[in-house]
Chains A and B, each alone.
Chain A
Amino acid sequence: MSAALRPAGAAFAAGEVIVKAEGVSKYFDVSPPWLNRVLERKPRTILRAVDDVSFEIRRGETLSLVGESGCGKSTVARVLVGLYAPTHGRVEFFGRDLAEVNTAAGRALRQKLQMIFQDPYASLNPRWRVAEIIAEPLKAHGLMKDPAQIAARVDELLGLVRLSPADKVKYPHQFSGGQRQRISIARALATHPEFLVCDEPTSALDVSVQAQVLNLMKDLQRELGLTYLFISHNLAVVHHISDRVGVMYLGRIVELAPKRSLFATPRHPYTRMLLDAIPDLDMTGRARTPVAGEVPNPLNPPPGCTFHPRCPHADERCRREAPVLKVHRRIGEDVQVACHAVEEDRIG
């Protein structure tokens, strides 16, 4: 069934780039109402939630985006599944523009891409039984009509997420948080997607339940050959699940690198700061260096590199000129950093 959406002659083998974001920006107009602007002479206010973000995701890999609240990571997730249209830039999915997703012709494309949300309490309709919840994408996409066929597929999906077929007659409130998140995963898998956008899928869960869900997601990735974009603020979780990691700060990616390299030798000062801030289980009693300052107001970001007020390495150029995310020859091909200090070799 996937043959229909692939461009003729282009086979997407393992390791092929299947998602490509090019210069994606998403601005929100948060101006006061027109009358206030006229009477009180208030200017228009534009929130640059995501600002010129580019990355690629290859088949079968997990790319994570980490950052603190308000850094734009969830907005990227929403742009990627087509819930928001990007203000600038474009997203390519299997070589086709994502803008097509919202057209009738994009239906086949849409099946290939699903989303898992953060709050399993809010993302399941409390008045629907589990069977109806999981079958909804099948019906919405017109993939199956025969009730017996749908029931069989629902059972199969419940099995995939390690729930029992007997659970399908229950309502969401009869499940714990972890089980609910499994139901959302089953629903997301209903249309045989290849790419899942997971927006903080475990942050509402307790650690032991989080472990179950993370293990399940890894198993499913292996069994079904899924590709993930994983959004999280928890660096330990990101370390566990990812192949590559992008660190976001105020709407921009400041560092994009393979997991091992990012955690072993973080390059951007903000990445170093984040890694320093994690409480460490193995070094009881160690005094850690607290991070100075807070994230500035995204409505009024500092000029130049937006991180410069908190950065110990900032100089005149950082205050003036915004750095671009790029490969530095000294570091290697697979690491991209947006930092003048790294470029000028001022920091190691």
Chain B
Amino acid sequence: MKPPLLEVRNLRIEFPTRRGTLLAVDDISFSIAPGEVLGVVGESGAGKSLTGAAVIGLLEPPGRIARGEVKLDGLRIDNLPPDEMRKVRGREIGAIFQDPLTSLNPLYTVGQQLVETITTHLHMSAQQARARAIELLAATGIPAPERRIDHYPHQFSGGMRQRVVIALALAAEPKLVIADEPTTALDVSIQAQIITLLKTLCREKRTAVMLITHDMGVIAETADRVAVMYAGRIVEIGPVADVIHRPQHPYTAGLMGSIPSMEHESERLTQIEGSMPRLTEIPPGCAFHPRCDRAFDRCRRERPELLPAGASQAACWLHDAGGGRLAA
């Protein structure tokens, strides 16, 4: 197996508050191979966006990495000073966020923003950078890029703006792109265009992608592997087809059942009772046990770690063959 491009080990993100410290992400580990697309799914508040922010060093204070490490190409990047991290961000890791309007500066033309990114990270003259910017816009499918390059963000439609953001993220040919809900703000027909574009561009350049979304459909179409998060932890991680068709964790199974299907008709959707606990009220043992209909005594006492389950790994005691084995 190839060495991973990104390796996250025992990452823990805390928010100190007046009423004690909140654990937003609790001891998660995963890796992404070069050219691989890892999907990260979960409901709002599961900690998926924070994980992405921690990887690119954009965690907003008071949030902080309390423990663990983030390695890119074998080098730790979580403890880099801000100046060093700025060089990694954009050059090594690109970012695409949900709302293209907030990730573009409204006062500069898209050309100025692209040229700035390119000249910051690559050794290019302004002319070369402009030529490259036009190339990038053309690659993202923006019609008449030589003219559009001098337009301001507000002159683009939502879908076109997200294309510009993708061009920006890929400008310095990073090895990894963090895409946080890249299609959520877009209409269905545009979503399909953007996902296809992201997939093609990253496959061509062998860019690895961490695709954060709550939309299982997008994951199914794009990701190689998928990590399912619940209450700050990864509850299941595995190849995308396995997680979708043979979910091993009761939460994943419930999540999959709650998505209305277009293929077959059902009178009722699978319903997971209750909702994800607030960070202040995470129950002991397995965080999912109060909502789980297969919970038994051990689930209430001990917290499960990721255990091998089919082709995936699931943090669930149902997969503990030894039965009495304690968490490692």
Residues of A within 8 A of B (CB): 68-69, 176-179, 206-212, 214-215, 218, 233, 235-237, 239-241, 263, 273-274, 276-288, 290-291, 294-295
- Contacting A at CB under 8 A, from B160-205, are 160, 187-193, 195-196
User: Which residues of chain B are near A178, meaning CB under 8 Å?
Assistant: 275
Name the one of B196, B214, B255 contacting A288, with C-beta atoms under 8 angstroms: B196
Please, what's the 1-or-0 string for B249-289, where 1 marks a CB less than 8 Å from any CB in chain A? 00000111111111101111111110110000000000000
Complex interface: chain B residues within 8 A of A239 (CB): 260-262, 265
Contact B267 A211 (CB under 8 A): no
A68 touches B269 (CB 8 A): no
How many A-B pairs fall under 8 Å by CB?
A: 126
Contact of A233 among B157, B160, B188, B262 (CB under 8 A): B188
Are the C-beta atoms of B221 and A280 separated by less than 8 Å? yes
**Could you tell me if B191 and A208 are in contact, using CB atoms closer than 8 angstroms?**
no
Extra contacts, 4 of them, besides A68-B187, A278-B217 (Cβ < 8 A), are: A237-B260, A277-B188, A278-B188, A284-B240
Decide if A284 touches B258 in the complex (CB within 8 Å).
no
Specify which of A176, A235, A276, A277 is in contact with B275 (CB 8 Å cutoff): A176
Chain B contacts for A290, CB-based, 8 A: 192-193, 196
Given contacts A206-B44, A281-B244, A212 and B261 within 8 Å (CB-CB): no
Q: Return the chain B residue nearest A289 by Cβ.
A: B192
Which residues of B are in contact with A by a Cβ distance under 8 Å? Answer: 43-44, 157, 159-160, 187-193, 195-196, 214-218, 220-221, 240-241, 244, 254-263, 265-273, 275-276
Per the bound structure, the CA–CA distance linking A71 and B275 in Å amounts to 33
Closest to B259 in A: A207
A183 to chain B, nearest CB (A): 14
* Contact between chains at A236 and B259 (CB < 8 Å): yes
Using known A-B contacts A214-B269, A279-B195, A290-B193, determine if residue A207 contacts B221 with beta carbons closer than 8 Å: no
Q: List 19 A-B contacts (CB under 8 A).
A: A206-B44, A206-B214, A211-B258, A215-B269, A215-B271, A236-B259, A263-B262, A277-B189, A278-B188, A279-B192, A279-B218, A280-B220, A280-B221, A281-B256, A282-B263, A285-B221, A290-B193, A291-B189, A291-B190
Interface centre among A179, A207, A282, A287 (most CB of B within 10 A): A207
Q: Are B260 and A214 in contact (CB under 8 A)?
A: yes
Which of B157, B193, B196, B262 contacts A278, CB < 8 Å?
A: B262
CA distance A295 to B276 in the complex (A): 37
Known contacts A211-B258, A273-B189; A281 and B216 CB within 8 A of each other: yes
Cα of A273 to Cα of B265 in the assembled complex, Å: 21
Query: A residues within 8 A CB of B221?
Result: 279-280, 284-286, 288
**Contact between A236 and B192, CB atoms less than 8 A apart:** no
Given contacts A280-B217, A281-B217, contact A218 B267 (CB under 8 A): yes
- Alpha-carbon separation in the docked complex, A209 to B221 (Å): 23
Query: A68, B220: Cβ atoms under 8 Å?
Result: no
Contact B43 A68 (CB under 8 A): no
Chain B residues whose CB sits within 8 angstroms of the CB of A179 once the complex forms: 275
Among B221, B256, B261, B266, chain A packs the most CB atoms within 10 A around the CB of: B221
B192 to A294, Cβ gap below 8 A?
Answer: no
Contacts of A281 in B (CB 8 A): 216-217, 220, 244, 256, 259, 261
What chain A residues lie within 8 Å of B270 (beta carbons)?
211
Known contacts: A284-B221, A284-B244. The answer to whether A291 contacts B192 by CB under 8 A is: yes
Q: Collect the chain B residues with CB atoms within 8 Å of residue A215's CB.
A: 268-269, 271
Check A207–B43 contact: CB distance below 8 A. Answer: yes
**B283 CB, nearest partner CB in chain A, Å:** 16
- Are A240 and B260 in contact, CB atoms less than 8 angstroms apart? yes
B260 touches A208 (CB 8 A): no
Q: How far is the CA of A236 from the CA of B215 in the complex (A)?
A: 12
